Chain A
């Protein structure tokens, strides 16, 4: 399991919030989360936060950015807006001594959320108290077909890799693939790859090939470690592809594999092997290349 430090993240987020809002707004935020505060006031604060905080991208120091990535298993908040971070702060700062009441309050926000609120709610999962309580809600977010909402669960979010079971995790990866969500932004993609997912992805590749549709080469990132006699023919097919991105994916998958025929296949291409060893070719460089590619699905 991939882990992250929720407590450290909460402290870091609080510091970033304070330096991105005026003292008046900080006071306004703080008043909404006291144990004595009523739920109606909290709800209105969450909903109307952008009117108070503005929607500028947050200013984060280099040190804070590094500390957040460290505590958050790679989490990057440098593109987040102030309203999003303030909403997240409200969510984890709300008095939560009564577990059931806290759950009902947050759940009601999910049920009535517009798109930007959903983004804030899902990106807050990693810093909410009672982390195990949100597993079903996280799985529900993965079912969303609203691009931004799904993206906020699947991408740049350390919660799913830490808390989802294998079945739900595999759904996350599949849903991301089906919706052209950038796979390289999924935290824990390597660590949580598994044999069952590899078989599903091999089947998926066969369907795409039968339909003469585009297949994102990044799917093979989840397959490399699990290449066996059944999957190896897929890699051979990729390796014989006229498209360079497919051949690169085949080489990268072989590089990750302990399966002997896969290693031998890569050895036949020493140039590719050495550029992987030197870091010139990696799943990240392939992801960068595919970003500029029009997906024809």
Chain B
């Protein structure tokens, strides 16, 4: 979202792009369990597919501009299960989402009440793999109220919960989020605590929750630190995501982290656990994830060929040559 260090002239120069890391992770499959694709472009989708990302989860979040009516919430939720799901399928990536009222907008109580009323219409939908991202931002009373109500909703629907932990006063906010979840009788195995760092991870794992780490420049985790954590703690209940959104973030954070872990001597199996399998195991508790769908969404019929080309069905988008100055 923002840079907290001093910017020099060097920081503003365009970087050269070296994509050789893609060769080192070729053939690996990735699952990014937290990414906000409504804020991303078709170029991102193409690059993600090329890097081996086969499926993603898009949590409902704050879109930057505060919403002023329940209808815009409804349309946003509808876009997560409708338009964005379709857009993703055009690039052969299976799209899931979590649905919830984010902590920031929980502070608009009049609106929050109306949003709570429409949430049950959405959380039972196919491909909705949890209630999220919910939790604390400023840690106000209103945030707590709607966090608690949504925990009850998740419990009733038998869905996992994806918890956003606050930027400010993070450590205590994380502890408090877990205390409240337990107080409402949630099984920690059904709760994914997100945006962890070295200071929060031990308590999260010790108490039986899933620990997600967001690789996000400047404000959250870096992936060298991430590799060190896996070396130190192993892979159990640990997952990596990008949380890429409208800020300076990286939709390729998961495959890049996999490549870096490989360079740092972490085994392929351990990499697979934290960049693919653990997230699937956690969110598949919703009953809404079938790994066979990752291949089905590509919908490539190898038996149908014209000339030397495989025929793509299901509305996949043809590639354009981006290096060409000619646009046809």
Query: Shortest CB–CB separation between residue B121 and chain A, in angstroms?
Result: 5
Q: Are the C-beta atoms of A292 and B306 separated by less than 8 Å?
A: yes
**Contacts A43-B121, A44-B124, A294-B306; A115 near B311 (Cβ below 8 A):** no
- A278 at the A/B interface (Cβ < 8 Å)? no
Query: Shortest CB–CB separation between residue A82 and chain B, in angstroms?
Result: 14
CB neighbours of B311 from chain A (8 A) = 292, 294
* Stretch in B73-81, B216-224, B274-282 with 4+ CB within 8 Å of A: B73-81
Q: Are the C-beta atoms of A115 and B121 separated by less than 8 Å?
A: no
The A interface, classified by DSSP as helix, strand, loop or mixed, is helix
Q: Are the C-beta atoms of A112 and B304 separated by less than 8 Å?
A: no
- A147 at the A/B interface (Cβ < 8 Å)? yes
Query: Shortest CB–CB separation between residue B76 and chain A, in angstroms?
Result: 11
CB neighbours of B247 from chain A (8 A) = none
Q: Are the C-beta atoms of A116 and B126 separated by less than 8 Å?
A: yes
Residue of B81, B306, B328 near A293 (CB, 8 A) is B306
Query: Shortest CB–CB separation between residue B131 and chain A, in angstroms?
Result: 15
Q: Are the C-beta atoms of A115 and B124 separated by less than 8 Å?
A: no
CB neighbours of A113 from chain B (8 A) = 78, 81-82
Point out which of B74, B78, B121, B127 has the most chain A C-beta atoms below 10 A from its C-beta: B121
- B125 at the A/B interface (Cβ < 8 Å)? yes
Query: Shortest CB–CB separation between residue B91 and chain A, in angstroms?
Result: 13
CB neighbours of B81 from chain A (8 A) = 113-115
Fill in one digit per residue for A141-164: 1 if any B CB lies within 8 Å of its CB, else 0: 000011110000000000000000
In the complex, which residues 114-150 of chain A have their Cβ closer than 8 Å to any Cβ of chain B? 114-118, 145-148
**Contacts A47-B125, A112-B77, A292-B311; A118 near B120 (Cβ below 8 A):** no
Residue of B86, B287, B304, B306 near A115 (CB, 8 A) is B86
- A171 at the A/B interface (Cβ < 8 Å)? no
| Complex CA distance for A112 and B71, rounded to whole angstroms | 11
Residue of B74, B82, B318 near A146 (CB, 8 A) is B82
CB neighbours of A180 from chain B (8 A) = 315
Query: Shortest CB–CB separation between residue B191 and chain A, in angstroms?
Result: 22
CB neighbours of B318 from chain A (8 A) = 296-297
- A78 at the A/B interface (Cβ < 8 Å)? no
Query: Shortest CB–CB separation between residue A266 and chain B, in angstroms?
Result: 28
Point out which of B82, B304, B309 has the most chain A C-beta atoms below 10 A from its C-beta: B82
Q: Are the C-beta atoms of B86 and A148 separated by less than 8 Å?
A: yes
Fill in one digit per residue for B114-135: 1 if any A CB lies within 8 Å of its CB, else 0: 0000101110111100000000
CB neighbours of B314 from chain A (8 A) = 147
Q: Are the C-beta atoms of A112 and B122 separated by less than 8 Å?
A: yes
CB neighbours of A47 from chain B (8 A) = 121, 124-125
| Complex CA distance for A193 and B118, rounded to whole angstroms | 43
In the complex, which residues 166-195 of chain A have their Cβ closer than 8 Å to any Cβ of chain B? 179-180
Q: Are the C-beta atoms of A51 and B287 separated by less than 8 Å?
A: yes
Q: Are the C-beta atoms of A294 and B126 separated by less than 8 Å?
A: no
Query: Shortest CB–CB separation between residue B98 and chain A, in angstroms?
Result: 14
B290: nearest chain-A partner, CB-CB? A55
- A48 at the A/B interface (Cβ < 8 Å)? yes
Q: Are the C-beta atoms of B124 and A146 separated by less than 8 Å?
A: no
- B83 at the A/B interface (Cβ < 8 Å)? yes
Residue of A43, A44, A146 near B86 (CB, 8 A) is A146
- A230 at the A/B interface (Cβ < 8 Å)? no
CB neighbours of A291 from chain B (8 A) = 304
B304: nearest chain-A partner, CB-CB? A292
- B27 at the A/B interface (Cβ < 8 Å)? no
- A50 at the A/B interface (Cβ < 8 Å)? yes
9 closest cross-chain pairs (CB), A and B = A114-B81, A147-B315, A146-B86, A47-B124, A48-B124, A294-B306, A114-B125, A112-B121, A294-B309
17 contacts between A and B (CB under 8 A): A40-B120, A51-B287, A108-B121, A111-B74, A112-B122, A113-B78, A114-B125, A114-B126, A115-B86, A118-B82, A145-B86, A146-B82, A147-B314, A180-B315, A212-B328, A292-B305, A293-B306
Interface residues of B (CB under 8 A from A): 74, 77-78, 81-83, 85-86, 118, 120-122, 124-127, 287, 304-307, 309, 311, 314-315, 318, 328
Q: Beyond the given A47-B125, A114-B125, A296-B318, could you list 13 further A-B residue pairs with CB under 8 A, ordered by the A residue number?
A: A44-B120, A47-B124, A48-B124, A108-B121, A114-B85, A117-B126, A146-B82, A147-B86, A148-B86, A291-B304, A292-B304, A292-B305, A292-B306
Interface residues of A (CB under 8 A from B): 40, 43-44, 47-48, 50-51, 108, 111-118, 145-148, 179-180, 212, 291-294, 296-297
